[in-house]
């Protein structure tokens, strides 16, 4: 903090001495933001694309929107993402995911939750999947720069996969960690296990790891790795799907 104060002082004195216009640089805004009170909400909009031509002809486009609110009692997370790609004119990636998550905090470390997820994947022959799950959770770590939470509860699954409908009671065990490594960057990871309660040999596992870092006060670069495992996929499909997505993001 002593070094941050010195840098800010030099920048301000230099601009006055030179008679410069009172316009804050991105560096000054970044340093100043560390002393401002952190707002309880955050909106991130991201998009990315990749093109290859020549010996290969592939295209991939991704987009996502994430809204987070972290109050003293209520916490919300709403997210939606989609990806579409082609290889020599044929679809090679075609999926969409959505999530709504609500926490009601009993104390600093414990909370009740309601979690709803939705997914579709044209390549995996998954027409739709919705899972709703209430439960309880607790934070093993919870401070201004780091959090690690664990959750568990029952759930109900509705899906159509391989043109076959399935409804089932499920369980849900999940964890999520987040680290605000710097004022301008964060790292996160999550894992979720959802078994069918009438047949524990049928289950879903989803995992995610990501990093986001600021380029300017508004623009960020974002890299996310996702892994989705369905031990009973649609006929002729593989159980495991892994995706790596890079994008530019606007963080509000």
Low-confidence ranges of the chain (pLDDT < 50): 1-36
Q: Give the pLDDT score at 154.
A: 97
> Which residue has tokens 């369905």?
230
The DSSP letter of residue 3 is: H
Q: Give the pLDDT score at 1.
A: 40
Q: Give the pLDDT score at 244.
A: 86
In the chain, CATH 2.40.160.40 sits at: 37-251
**Hey, how many other C-beta atoms are within 10 angstroms of the C-beta on 1?**
7
> From residue 26, how far is each of 30, 32, 112 by CA, in Å?
6, 10, 40
Q: Give the pLDDT score at 38.
A: 67
> How many residues in total does the chain contain?
252
- In 122-239, which ranges are E strands? 126-142, 146-161, 164-182, 185-196, 199-214, 219-230
Answer whether 217's CB lies under 8 Å from 211's CB.
Answer: no
Q: Which of 179, 145, 177 is nearest to 34 (CA)?
A: 145
Lookup: tokens for 75: 């916490």
The 10s digit of each residue's pLDDT in 96-138 is 999 999 999 999 899 999 999 999 999 999 999 999 999 999 9
The Cα–Cα gap between 170 and 132 comes to 9
pTM: 0.79
The 10s digit of each residue's pLDDT in 64-73 is 999 999 888 9
The Cα–Cα gap between 233 and 124 comes to 8
Q: Give the pLDDT score at 52.
A: 72
Burial class (CB in 10 A: 0-12, 13-18, 19+), 9: exposed
For 90-112, b/e burial (b = at least 16 CB within 10 A) is eeebebbbbbbbbbebeeeeebe
The Cα–Cα gap between 50 and 232 comes to 31
How far apart are the two ends of the chain, measured CA to CA in Å? Answer: 25
Answer whether 130's CB lies under 8 Å from 117's CB.
Answer: yes
Q: What is the CATH code for 37-251?
A: 2.40.160.40
């Amino acid at each position: 903090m002593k070094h941050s104060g010195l840098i800010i002082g030099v920048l301000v004195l230099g601009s006055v001495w030179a008679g410069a216009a009172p316009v804050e640089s991105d560096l000054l805004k970044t340093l100043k933001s560390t002393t401002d009170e952190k707002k309880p909400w955050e909106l991130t909009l991201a998009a990315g694309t990749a093109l290859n031509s020549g010996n290969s002809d592939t295209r991939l486009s991704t987009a996502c929107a994430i809204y987070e609110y972290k109050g003293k009692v209520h916490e919300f997370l709403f997210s939606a993402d989609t990806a579409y790609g082609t290889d020599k004119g044929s679809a090679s990636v075609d999926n969409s995911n959505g999530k709504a998550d609500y926490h009601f905090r009993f104390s600093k470390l414990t909370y009740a939750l309601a979690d709803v997820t939705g997914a579709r994947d044209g390549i995996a022959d998954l027409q739709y999947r919705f899972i709703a799950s209430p439960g309880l959770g607790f934070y093993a770590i919870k401070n201004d720069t780091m959090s690690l939470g664990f959750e568990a509860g029952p759930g109900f699954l509705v899906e159509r996969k391989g043109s076959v409908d399935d409804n089932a009671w499920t369980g849900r065990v999940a964890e999520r960690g987040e680290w605000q490594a710097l004022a301008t960057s964060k790292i996160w990871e999550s894992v979720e296990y959802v078994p069918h309660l009438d047949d524990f040999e049928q289950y879903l596992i989803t995992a995610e790891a990501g990093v986001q870092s600021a380029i300017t006060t508004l623009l960020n670069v974002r890299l996310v790795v996702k892994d989705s495992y369905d031990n009973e996929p649609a006929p002729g499909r593989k159980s495991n799907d892994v995706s790596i997505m890079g994008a530019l993001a606007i963080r509000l």
